[in-house]
Homo-oligomer: A and B are copies of this chain.
């Protein structure tokens, strides 16, 4: 298959890319990269040639001769390459900007701080316990969701933006999955919870769930 996604079942950035591929109706081969076993396959010489940052996901499109990291860049690439399909970033100037900003509220301000490698580093640098790092992860998710829930009050409909499923929803749903893992009290976020539920009723989201991947354990 000319399109490959290297990812890890529980990586939320990989999860985002899977949702987008499904929403765009793109067939792809999913290649698991185990972030945990043997110190992490992302550090292998083979994989780090594809992705010198040693992170997932990595997207390969052989027809366009492109190897791409960063889930948001991958998703916008898919959206621009398959323009005729459902648009994940709307066409209107200000709507596009608002969708991207909400996606980045998650991808820049929440997810990176509670990443597996960061949690491991907290244990190494500060002798943090498993309980400490779980609290750390939950703290940043809750702080980020506080702001997002307020923003959604002025714009949300069935999805983050009234109009349709967008890049913002693609980022929100995996972050809600992670929030549940870290026992964030989701009753504080009725709009976020409702939107995640609406998204998860769509097959593109269902098929992308961590537990539905071949590398899930």
Contact = CB atoms under 8 A, between A and B. Distances in A.
B76 A97 contact: yes
Interface string A121-135: 110011110001001
Sorting the interface of chain A by its residue count into under 10, 10 to 19, 20 to 34 or 35 or more gives: 35 or more
B93 A64 contact: yes
Contacts of A100: 70, 72-73, 76
Interface string A94-106: 1011101100110
A147 interface: yes
Most buried by B among A107, A127, A144: A107
A97 to B, nearest CB: 4
Interface in A33-64: 51-55, 64
25 contacts: A52-B146, A52-B148, A53-B109, A64-B93, A65-B94, A66-B97, A68-B97, A70-B101, A72-B104, A73-B100, A74-B97, A77-B93, A77-B97, A80-B96, A81-B93, A107-B108, A108-B111, A112-B112, A122-B126, A125-B135, A125-B136, A125-B139, A126-B126, A126-B128, A126-B132
